[in-house]
Amino acid sequence: MQLDAKTLDTLAWLSRLDIPAEEEEALSSSIAEMLTFFQQLSALDTEGVEPTAHIAPLENVLREDEPFSERLDRDLLLSGTESEDGLITLPKVVG
Amino acid sequence: MAKYESVIGLEVHIELRTKTKIFCDCPADHGGDPNTRCCPVCMGMPGTLPVLNKRVVEFASRAGMMLNCEIAHFSKMDRKNYFYPDLPKAYQISQLDHPLCEHGYIDINVNGEEKRIGITRIHIEEDAGKLVHTDGGSGADCNRCGVPLIEIVSEPDIRTAAQARAYLERLRELIRWVGVSDCQMETGSMRCDVNLSIRPVGDTNLYTRTEIKNLNSFKHIVAAIDAEKARQIDETEAGRALVQETRRYDPEKDKTYSMRVKENANDYRYFPDPDLVPIILTDEDHARFRAMIPDLPEERLAKYVNELKLPEATAKSLCEEPVLANLFSAAAEQVQQPKLLANLMLADSDAVSIPAEIWTELTNLCAANKINRSAPAKLLEAYRETGKDISALVQELGLEQVQDTGLLNSVADEVIAANPKAVADYKAGKEAAIKALMGQIMKRTKGAANPQEATALLKEKLAKL
Ligand SMILES: [Zn+2]
């Protein structure tokens, strides 16, 4: 399986990754290898098999529409991130 | 110049009025300081698991039934992957190939012309957060992350801005009526994107369409449709190819402009969400939701006017607010005078906060002349404060209308004896003098006497003098 430069470029853009030019080739062949590995699945005969939405034999795991009375403190919630006036600080991504 | 028609499809997002968010128990209503209505689940922190809110399934199904959709027996949640900082998980949980509702329609009427607009699908999904831009940069507020939405996608059956408006108005009316959202464009609980292409009249093909996003009023939607149709005609006539893209409408310039995003590279890479299991709805579930679907608003209005004999204006006022109409219908079952009930309810600024049985009791007390006409307002105020029984409050506040003719009789005798001047004036032909006597009766009974009865009794007694 081959991975062309354009596909790699698209994947990098979707993941917001900057891939240095010297790493492109190694990365391409590495991803191609993984795809080849997964391609083995296509060898299976799935004729007449219903598409599976979930691997666990479960359905309707639902909760009641009731608010939880104790809220997590905002300082605790935001402790792992940079914030100002309660807002999560973001890198400039818009505009 | 060839004559063109526009081909329009609408995507409408509506917030469901649940207490909690779609996948966690954070409150779903508007307001709150930034990041005070969120938790590790809706903020997409590693190791958390979403659990679907039962009421979201119920509300979305009810919305679907109100819009004549088929409700799925099998439905599932999918991840829609895209990068934007208001979406902490970098994917939105939505539905791709098994939406909860499909194949519905809305009938509209524009200038006497009936038209049916198809509804392709309705799916459930989570809202994103909000970006706040300040001088120092951008900040994210996750309070809206995970608020439940339904997205209602129409068929490209709409041809004019007037039809689009009629569709949206009817959609809003029906969703409000079925009680799952307040559908307010101003607060963002209803939002609309427009897909539009043009074609020569008579042609049945579909051509390159553009999507106009973030329209926040019916007025802007109508104006944006006209502006975009005009632009597409100009481009086509000038021989320039149209590009499939997302555009925005600028109301000041009355023009749409391209958002110039890298459309071609966008790829949502949908896949089934492994954190959420399928939703299976049985025929019994469908029947349970079906039982919650009200009659149509116009049927209700007709019933109020024709069966309950309400004046049309009164009936319309009730039907404007679905919660109020439903409360009225419930209370009206037990009253003899629905018009009196309607008037009492409409006179109160917050009628929906009072239970139906209280309205019934109040109306029946009024109808039987057991309390005077000014009593309901006092009783409602006292009920709001104390929550006590209406009958207990009537006694406590001394609001009973005096029915005891023996008591009224003796009070009238006392008043006549105590006011010889007024009696003499009346006998001399000054009919207005009776008012002074009436005033005395009301004073001695603390306003509890029935004025008509008291006047009649006084006249009878004075005539005998
Ligand atoms: Zn949450």
* B21 Cα–ligand 1 center, Å: 7
Which pLDDT score, from 0 to 100, does residue A75 have?
A: 83
Q: How far does the centroid of ligand 1 lie from the alpha carbon of residue B39, in Å?
A: 4
What's the pLDDT score for residue B2?
58
C-beta neighbour count of B43 within 10 angstroms? 23
Between β-strands A62-63 and B52-53, what pairing exists: parallel, antiparallel or unpaired? parallel
Share above pLDDT 90 across residues of chain B, in percent, rounded to a whole number: 59
* Other Cβ atoms within 10 Å of B137 Cβ, number: 15
In chain A the first and final C-alpha atoms are separated, in Å, by: 38
In terms of Cβ atoms closer than 10 Å to its own Cβ (0-12, 13-18, 19+), residue B237 is exposed
In the reported structure, the alpha carbon of residue B28 is separated from the centroid of ligand 1 by a whole-number distance in angstroms of 9
Please tell me the distance from the alpha carbon of residue B82 to that of residue B455, in angstroms, as a whole number: 79
Q: How sure is the predictor about B263, in pLDDT bands with cuts at 50, 70 and 90?
A: low
Interface-testing mutation among B45, B77, B277, B288, with chain A (most A C-beta atoms within 10 A): B277
Sequence ranges of the domains in chain A: 5-42
Average pLDDT over residues B165-188: 94
Closest-CA residue of chain B to A94: B138
pLDDT (0 to 100) of residue B17: 95
| Helix, strand, coil % in chain A, rounded to nearest 5 | 40, 10, 55
Ligand 1 ion: Cβ-proximal residues, 5 Å cutoff: B 24, 26, 39, 41-42
Which chain A residues touch B132 with a CB distance below 8 Å? 87
Nearest CA in chain B to A67: B25
Q: How many residues make up chain A in this entry? A: 95
> Is pLDDT at B1 greater than 60 in this prediction?
no
Q: Which is more confident, B140 or B263?
A: B140
A88 vs B: CB within 8 A: yes
pLDDT the model gives residue B431: 83
Rounded mean pLDDT of B273-290? 95
Can you say how many angstroms the Cα of residue B296 is from the centroid of all Cα atoms in its chain? 14
- Give, in order, the Cα–Cα distances in Å from B114 to each of B12, B108, B117, B371: 22, 6, 10, 50
Size of interface A-B (CB pairs under 8 A): 120
Contact B25 A68 (CB under 8 A): yes
Contact indicator for B361, B390 with CB cutoff of 8 Å? yes
* ipTM metric: 0.87
Mean pLDDT along residues B191-197: 95
Per-chain mean pLDDT for chain B: 90
Residue B387: predicted pLDDT: 83
Of A56-60, B69-73, B244-248, B265-269, least confident by mean pLDDT is: B265-269
Calculate helix-pair angle for B297-306, B312-320, nearest 10 degrees: 150
| B165 vs B172: CA distance, rounded Å | 11
- pLDDT, tens digit (0-9, with 9 covering 90-100), for B62-89: 999 999 999 999 999 999 998 888 889 9
What is the least distance, in Å, from the CA of B34 to any CA of chain A? 6
d(C-alpha A60, C-alpha A79), whole Å: 34
The pTM (predicted TM-score) of the whole model is 0.82
Contact between B26 and A62 using a beta-carbon 8 Å cutoff: no
Among chain A residues, CA nearest to B95: A53
Q: How far is CA B289 from CA B57, B59, B180, B255, B461, in A?
A: 10, 9, 12, 43, 65
Whether B265 has a pLDDT exceeding 80, the answer reads: no
Per the model's pLDDT, the better-predicted residue between B262 and A66 turns out to be: A66
Q: Are B198 and B5 in contact (CB under 8 A)?
A: yes
Cβ-nearest to B54 among A64, A85, A92:
A64
Using the beta-carbon criterion (under 8 Å), do B279 and A67 form an inter-chain contact?
no
Q: pLDDT for B296-334, tens place per residue?
A: 999 999 999 999 999 999 999 999 888 899 999 999 998
How far apart are the CA of B292 and the nearest CA of chain A, in angstroms?
18
Check pLDDT > 60 for residue A57: yes
User: Could you give the domains of chain B?
Assistant: 4-280 (no CATH), 294-396 (no CATH), 405-464 (1.10.10.410)
- 3-class secondary-structure state, position B152: strand
- Residue predicted with more confidence, B219 or B216: B219
Comparing A95 with B427, which gets the higher pLDDT?
B427
State pLDDT tens for residues B44-60. Answer: 999 999 999 999 999 99
- Contacts with A77 from chain B: Cβ below 8 Å: 35, 38-40, 43
Q: Which of chain A's residues have a Cβ under 8 Å away from the Cβ of B280?
A: 59-60
**Which pLDDT band, with edges at 50, 70 and 90, does B275 fall under?**
very high
- Residue B211 and residue B224: Cα distance in Å, rounded? 11
From A53, A63, A89, residue closest to B51, measured CB to CB: A63
Residue type, B345: M
CB contact under 8 A, A94 and B40: no
The residue among A9, A17, A60, A74 with the most chain B CBs within 10 A of its CB, best to mutate, is A60
- pLDDT for A95 equals 45
Task: Give residue-wise pLDDT tens across range B392-448.
Answer: 888 787 777 666 667 778 888 888 888 888 888 888 888 888 888 888 888 887 777
Q: Is A6 on the interface with B (CB under 8 A)?
A: no
